[in-house]
Amino acid sequence: MDNIAYERPASIDEALRLVQQPGSVFIGGGTNLLDLMKGGVARPARLVDVSRLPGREIAQLPDGGLRIGAGMPNSDTANHPLVRQRYPLLSKALLAGASPQLRNMATVGGNLLQRTRCPYFCDTGFGACNKREPGSGCAARGGMNRSHAILGASEACIATHPSDMCVALAALRATVRVKGARGERSIALADFHRLPGATPERDTQLAPDELILSVDLPPSRFAPRSAYLKVRDRASYAFALVSVAAALELRDGAVADAALALGGVAHKPWRVPAAEQALVGGPLDDARIAEATRLLLHGAQGMGHNDFKIELARRAIARALSNANAAAETATG
């Protein structure tokens, strides 16, 4: 058994100092990290517990947006009055993930850093996994790849990002505020996660010594018309085959703004601003939905067992947009 040191820093600055020691990682709720440690995928030498540091609050920003502390449990975030009222899309996505028990433990910061549930990554019995062992190959490309990526994949990796929360945050144009030895910075959620390229072992743009402080949401007019659609093999405790976060702002019957992102299809939440723009300027009709879908799925390619995901995504996008458009009528009806 590996010896693992455990530290509980009293401040963020102390946490940042501790994590600079070799083999150190942050731990919050631990719902993903502990699983990886049990399976031998992650083998940290030191755990730096940040679960009791500041960051378990939600506050309104001066511009009318919202700041969600990285330590906020997923369940508390989903049920917070300001989130439910102003960003119901985020609430719906959070409640679609995992189980109530896990949502009570999992944190917003930890959710951002979830690692793929690709079985070839999670099981060390498979030797070929470039994400776990760079240079070893990708067993999924020639193996069972039903749950794998149809967009943004590379020769090195076809894994998908598992988070529901991140799909909604991508659609809502969130930013991630982080702090490290070089100070604070903000990273657009759209840029926070990486495509695999030749270095699939790197999931995000976060430096090893950086700690997530919060997720910031800009002011939004999407609350009345939003939908999160998650297509999965069973009704609960399953990761998405395809998920869609969709939201609309309508003025005089025309789409004035749109938010659209996919999950379960790529190494990161998949958002194409041009697809959103294709919905703007007129009523939400079949032609606009078709064009937005074409742009969002441009370049999609199946790997064999997951070919069905392309058509599934097409239908899910149309359904999610229709659900979002009808949401206001349902709420007032």
Query: In the CATH hierarchy, which fold is given to the domain comprising 1-53?
Result: 3.30.43
CA distance 236 to 168: 18
Please state the domain extents for the chain. 1-53, 226-332
Q: List Cβ neighbours of 29 (8 Å cut-off, separation of 6 or more).
A: 51, 73, 105, 106, 107, 110
Structure-token pair, residue 157:
């990796």
Residue 328: name the closest of 198, 215, 210, 226 by CA: 226
Residue 49: name the closest of 7, 17, 14, 83 by CA: 7
Q: Which CATH architecture has domain 226-332?
A: 2-Layer Sandwich (3.30)
Contact present, 177 and 206 (Cβ < 8 Å): no
Q: pLDDT tens digits for the chain (333 residues)?
A: 589 999 999 999 999 999 999 999 999 999 999 999 999 999 999 999 999 999 999 999 999 999 999 999 999 999 999 999 999 999 999 999 999 999 999 999 999 999 999 999 999 999 999 999 999 999 999 999 999 999 999 999 999 999 999 999 999 999 999 999 999 999 999 999 999 999 999 999 999 999 999 999 999 999 999 999 999 999 888 999 999 999 999 999 999 999 999 999 999 999 999 999 999 999 999 999 999 999 999 999 999 999 999 999 999 999 999 999 999 766 544
Q: How far apart are the first and last CA of the chain?
A: 60
Q: Which residue has the tokens 């919905």?
A: 279
pTM of the model: 0.97
